[in-house]
A and B are shown apart, each in its own frame.
Chain A
Amino acid sequence: MTDVISPARRLRRGRPEWLRGPALVGAIAITVWLLVALTVPLWSPYDPLAEVAPRLQGPSWHHLMGTDQLGRDVFTRMLWGSRTSLPVAFVVILSSVVIGTIVGAIAGYRGGWIDAVLMRFVDITMAFPPILLAMAITASLGPGVRNALIAMVLVWWPIYARLLRAQVIAVKQREYVESAEAIGVKRFAILRRYVLPMAYTPVLVNATMDFGQVVLLTASLSFIGLGARPPSPEWGAMITEGATQFYSWWIATAPGLAILVVVLAFNYVGDALRDSFDVKGVL
């Protein structure tokens, strides 16, 4: 007997269980924004830095989100803004996860004074509100996207270090890890083969959820003048310019919407991943 499966059913079968409802919407939004960030130079409606129309024009067919105080197309600048915010968020999360993993794994697995020293350093870093610490670091390094990125990595890695340490401590007490130690498997191999794979899920879920927060922090730093330099079409910087032209509402609305969509999208996906992997108690 031939099993006839409709294309729709086949698609549903191939889709992970968690990718439904809001998570699906979020995943689509993320995909769209990633595609925009990768391809916008190929099909951009206008040059994001060029004066293409009279200043402060409201939304129209020619300029979907109007023009700003210099006559630049706001929609185009919003699209190009994704080429700053998304790569910055990706690098911040990746770097933070790598550093946090190394520190958290060493602290959790070795324990003792190494754990104490590393975790006190983590405690000190986490004692400061992230936005204030990021502002202080960026201000001391000097404004700019690169320095904002460095500041955000310095603020974010302790979160992953602490999370992974807790997971490693829990996993290393399991019998199969003790067995591996008993038969003389090297510590690094145990950590890599037996501990980290079992401890890593909450980190990945947290990283997904943090992605949106980093986008928001990047925009916040630019908003207060510590991130992207003018005339870069960065979302936070665009909102700053819009704030000085408050009665031309479209200037700040466009990048604000972009931030809203990206942050919501990553939160939806992150929530679904958390529920799916059942790490609510950990996060």
Chain B
Amino acid sequence: MRLNTRNGITRQVMAAGLAGVLLLGACSSSGSSGSSGGSTDKALLIARSMDINSLDPSRSYCDTCQIFMTSVYETLIGLDKDNTTLVPRLASKWESNPAQTEFTFTLDPKAKFADGSAVTSADVKFSWERLHGLQASSSYLVSTIKSIDTPDAQTVKVTLSQANSAFLAQVNASYLGIMNSKVAIANGATIDPATDKAEPWFLANSAGSGQFTLASYQSGAELRLKRNDSYWGKKANFPEVVMKQTADAVTQRQQLEAGSVDIAMQISNDAAKGMNGKDVVVSQVPSYNFVYLAISPGAKGGEKLTPKVREAIRLGLDYKGLIDATVGGAGQAQASPIPNGFAGTAGLAAPAQDLAKAKSLLAEEGVTSLTLDATFPSLNVYGVDFTTAMQKVQTDLKAIGITLELNPVEISVWADKIGKDGIPVTMLYFAPDHTDSSQYVQYFGLLEASQWQTWARTDVSQSETDTLSKAFAEQDATKRAEIYNQLAKAMISDSVIIPVVNPNLFLAARSDIKGLYYSACCNLNISDLSRG
């Protein structure tokens, strides 16, 4: 059974992504095997700058977590390679009422966890209730769930608090993966953050039904997965997957060219130059990932960041220069926090610098000079070096009289600071969790307790809340895209989240690796990879 997500991702972006897949497939079929190639019994080695915050399925929320979750904890619904079509995974079929308030999933009776026990509706109920209960970063994905009933071991009936035509896409998010509730509970898992004690256990163990299980994790060094030999479906092509912490693009390139790894995941445009060869294949595809500047008026020191000052900052940025400086031109400007290609972005004007208007807005607010703390995580994500990007932002804003005090810090220090006092100006990144535009409104919009309403400490926008409800209730894809377009414009107007670059993705692998493509839900889908 296949259902369309009706999310409205444009054909052009999809076609480009698919072209990347085909290009890699073509290259890999004609390439010779490298030093790491040959046997299918060899581990798959991946060089990656890992951003893991947790390996607890209800707490993890990061790009690397998406890969981990997809490999170890299966969702009820999967996403096909076209990044559009939803396909059965743990659920063999599903249906909803016309009002989109009740969804019924039928679990595949063959599905079982790595320990051999069957995947039941009770496991689904516990996994989603725990995700909701722990109120972690990804909990927004289940915020519309009102109740979960389990009439029998194979049936899960979900009732939502409001109509939600994006619910199936949300179920596809890797963070809604299902854990073995009996094993998790035996190791301290509960649905209450006050009593839950399972997070340390999940750092060394897993309880999923995916093609892999967690073998070991060493923070800052490597994440090691081993093949689940009792997997209920098609077994993985690799006995082991090792993600090696490799912070920068240059080292990733060197490791890939030397054959020390099979895939390098964060090659930058500058590092990719001259890289194609008989042993290595590199292709460039558009992505839905983006890097953004975040302005927090409620942060300590951000008191002068009124809507007009925030708009001045948005108009003060040289977007083309930012794309050149950060990814050497291999990317696009992005108008709103909803990335190019998602429903609601058609017709949005690309952001452009307007210094005269920016200065005028600052003058209206009586701001002649303004100094702001700009603490940001010292990261290199999607080929974008944040220190370089923030220096460019600093230079741009200096021209309109705003001085940024740049303070690159470790991500943990950054997280501590933004949680405690907030940060007036900072930089961060986002990759899609699923295929519907609602995620961007839920994460970046000024909804009650959304991630950035909380971090930026802004007033709640009732208008955005109501409009999102309308989008959830709307089942016609075209009309829903129009509503998302309104939300995109509202978020542009908020000027709390200012996307600075939507970088192209460089898929770089040894020539004997087949099946590498960019997944809109899961980053990298290891189950589709093989060596040959």
Residues of chain A touching chain B, judged by Cβ–Cβ distance below 8 Å, are: 49-51, 55-56, 69-71, 143, 225, 229-231, 241, 243-248
Contacts and interface: CB of A to CB of B under 8 A. Distances in A.
Contact of A55 (B325, B387, B409): B325
Contacts of A247: 250, 270-271, 273-274
A69 B329 CA distance: 12
A230 B388 CA distance: 9
B391 A70 contact: yes
With most chain B CB atoms within 10 A of its CB, the pick from A56, A229, A230, A248 is A230
27 contacts: A49-B395, A51-B395, A55-B324, A55-B325, A55-B328, A69-B385, A70-B392, A70-B395, A71-B325, A143-B407, A225-B378, A229-B405, A229-B408, A230-B387, A231-B395, A231-B406, A241-B387, A243-B250, A244-B248, A244-B249, A244-B388, A245-B250, A245-B270, A246-B250, A246-B271, A247-B250, A248-B270
Contact of B406 (A50, A229, A243, A244): A229
Given A244-B250, A244-B385, A247-B271, 14 more contacts: A49-B395, A55-B324, A69-B325, A225-B378, A229-B405, A229-B406, A229-B408, A230-B387, A230-B390, A230-B408, A231-B391, A231-B394, A243-B248, A247-B273
Interface of B: 248-250, 270-271, 273-274, 321, 324-325, 328, 378, 380, 385, 387-388, 390-392, 394-395, 405-409
B383 to A, nearest CB: 10
Contact of B388 (A50, A69, A248): A69
A50 B395 CA distance: 8
Contacts of A55: 324-325, 328
Given A70-B388, A241-B388, A244-B385, A56 B270 contact: yes
Contacts of B394: 231
Nearest to B329: A55
A251 B378 CA distance: 20
B492 to A, nearest CB: 27
With most chain B CB atoms within 10 A of its CB, the pick from A70, A71, A225, A229 is A70
Contacts of B250: 243-247
Given A56-B270, A243-B250, A247-B250, A230 B380 contact: no
B374 to A, nearest CB: 10
Nearest to B268: A244
A229 B406 CA distance: 7
Contacts of B409: 143
Minimum-distance CB pairs A-B, first 3: A246-B250, A231-B391, A230-B406
Nearest to B380: A244
Contacts of A70: 325, 388, 391-392, 395
Contacts of B271: 246-247
Contacts of A241: 387-388
Contact of A230 (B248, B325, B391): B391
Nearest to A144: B407
Nearest to B405: A229
Contacts of B273: 247
Contacts of B408: 143, 225, 229-230
A51 B396 CA distance: 10
Nearest to A50: B395
Nearest to B325: A70
Nearest to B408: A225
Contacts of B380: 244
A109 B272 CA distance: 64
